[in-house]
């Protein structure tokens, strides 16, 4: 008898970039079970990504930071409430793409009779999974996209597309159009986005370097530069503004759908190793991706149109390296436009 679950829970508790890189796996699950109701349990920023991708029927957003760092008794109460919500849904199949001990336990407590978990030595509780055959053990040096796809290989899914894809919404598109019109940037010059933030200061290329690249691009390449600022970097806005040319546009209050809509309008996006680099790539925008070389290249944007630049430390990357990479991608874009 073929395996045909009708109510599936996918646990996808990664950071923003992780969730983007899991989209090919979510797409493959959707295509493998076209008639099933698919719910994805995901952290708050990732919830918007899953909604934009369109592969889920429902999204359960979990504030993992509040559960981890909140008042202990309150957090315990929230955890019990969430588990009760999951059990009430009566899932018949759980797929845990990240497979941490706590997410494995959530899958087990869901009451679902079949459970397929990523096999992560030292992180997952393999005894709580029961789907046969089992997926291969996590290959730590493999790209994250392929690691997620490995989890669902036992479902008979072969050669699925590897490229994460995000769509924009008309509401967010209209909001961005209004913002750009206010800045006189909705027509004419090419738009280049910069993201100076990062999840950790050690992964952040110096702000003054981003300012120099912006200056080169504006003076030499006649583009408009937009600096995107996430919640973690808002305190740095006052420090950033004097480092950038006066014509620079700063956007620091965008929702995730608005960020994605804005990135879809860009000719190029220059970013540290962080989530918005992956959202830009998923809407088809070429990315200059800055990282320190000790980091394995298994969380890089997927696609041949991106430029990866590394140094022993991120501070060792020069302004000229980044600017030359940006010029190469701008030249390719202008060439493509000639043939449209």
> Structural domain of residue 27, as residue ranges?
7-155
Asked if residue 294 belongs to a domain, the reply is yes
Per cent of the chain over pLDDT 90 is 74
Which of 199, 230, 196 minimizes the C-alpha distance to 214? 196
Same domain flag for 196 and 330: yes
- Does residue 323 contact residue 217 with C-beta atoms inside 8 Å? yes
Question: How confident is residue 212, by pLDDT bands cut at 50, 70 and 90?
Answer: very high
pLDDT(225) > 90:
yes
Over 60: is that where the pLDDT of 75 sits? no
Please report the pLDDT score of residue 101 as a whole number: 87
| 165 within domain boundaries | no
Instruction: Identify whether residues 146 and 178 lie together within a single domain.
Output: no
Q: Are residues 200 and 114 in the same domain?
A: no
Residue 62 pLDDT class (50, 70, 90 cuts): confident
The model's pLDDT over 139-167, given as tens digits with 9 standing for 90+, comes to 988 999 999 999 999 999 999 999 999 99
Assess whether 174 and 151 both reside in one domain: no
Establish if 164 belongs to a structural domain.
no
Among 129, 155, 181, identify where a domain stops. 155
| Shared-domain flag, residues 18 and 105 | yes
Q: Are residues 105 and 198 in the same domain?
A: no
- Tell me which of 155, 179, 201 is where a domain ends: 155
Q: Are residues 45 and 129 in the same domain?
A: yes
Co-location of 16 and 102 in the same domain: yes
Q: Do residues 256 and 305 both lie within one domain?
A: yes
Total domain count, the chain: 2
Does residue 281 form part of some domain? yes
Whether 160 maps to a domain, the answer reads no
Residues 246 and 106 in one domain: no
Q: Mean of the per-residue pLDDT values for the chain? A: 91
For residues 238-244, average pLDDT: 93
Residue 128 lies in a domain: yes
- pLDDT for 1 equals 54
pLDDT-based confidence at 45, cuts 50/70/90? Answer: confident
Q: Looking at the predicted structure, is the pLDDT value of residue 259 above 70?
A: yes
Q: Whole-prediction pTM value?
A: 0.93
Q: What is the CATH number of the domain that holds 34?
A: 3.40.50.2000
Query: Is residue 60 in a domain?
Result: yes
Q: Are residues 135 and 246 in the same domain?
A: no
Q: Which of 123, 155, 187 is the last residue of a domain?
A: 155
Assigned domain for 162 exists: no
- Residue linked to tokens 């000790």: 294
Q: What is the pLDDT of residue 322?
A: 98
Residue 244 and residue 219 share a domain = yes
Average pLDDT for 34-53: 95
């Amino acid at each position: 008898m073929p395996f045909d679950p009708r109510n599936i829970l996918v646990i996808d508790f990664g950071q923003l970039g992780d969730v983007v890189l899991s989209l090919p796996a979510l797409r493959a699950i959707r295509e493998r079970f076209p008639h099933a109701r698919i719910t994805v349990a995901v952290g708050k920023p990732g919830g918007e990504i899953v909604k934009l991708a369109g592969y889920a029927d429902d999204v359960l957003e979990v504030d993992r930071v509040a559960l981890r760092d909140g008042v202990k008794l309150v957090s315990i109460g929230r955890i019990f409430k969430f588990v009760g919500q999951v059990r009430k849904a009566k899932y018949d199949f759980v797929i845990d793409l990240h497979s941490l001990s706590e997410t494995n336990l959530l899958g087990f407590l869901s009451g679902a009779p079949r459970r397929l978990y990523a096999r992560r030595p030292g992180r997952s509780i393999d005894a709580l999974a029961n789907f046969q055959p089992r997926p291969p053990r996590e290959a730590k040096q493999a790209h994250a996209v392929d690691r997620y796809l490995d989890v669902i290989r036992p479902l008979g899914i072969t050669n699925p597309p590897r490229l994460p894809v995000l769509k924009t919404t008309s509401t967010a598109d209209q909001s961005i159009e209004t913002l750009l019109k206010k800045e006189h940037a909705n027509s004419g010059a090419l738009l280049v986005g910069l993201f100076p933030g990062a999840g950790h200061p050690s992964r952040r290329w110096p702000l003054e370097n981003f300012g120099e690249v912006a200056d080169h691009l504006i003076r030499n390449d006649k583009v408009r530069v937009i600096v995107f600022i996430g919640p973690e970097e808002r305190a740095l806005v006052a420090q950033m503004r004097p480092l950038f040319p006066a014509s620079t546009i700063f956007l620091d209050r965008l929702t995730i759908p608005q960020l994605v809509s804005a990135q879809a309008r860009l000719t190029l996006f220059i970013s540290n190793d962080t989530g918005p680099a992956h959202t830009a790539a998923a809407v088809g925008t070429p990315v200059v991706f800055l990282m320190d070389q000790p980091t394995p290249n298994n969380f890089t944007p997927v696609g041949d149109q991106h430029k990866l630049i590394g140094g022993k430390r991120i501070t060792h990357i020069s302004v000229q390296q980044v600017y030359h990479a940006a010029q190469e991608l701008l030249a390719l874009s202008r060439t493509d436009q000639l043939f449209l």
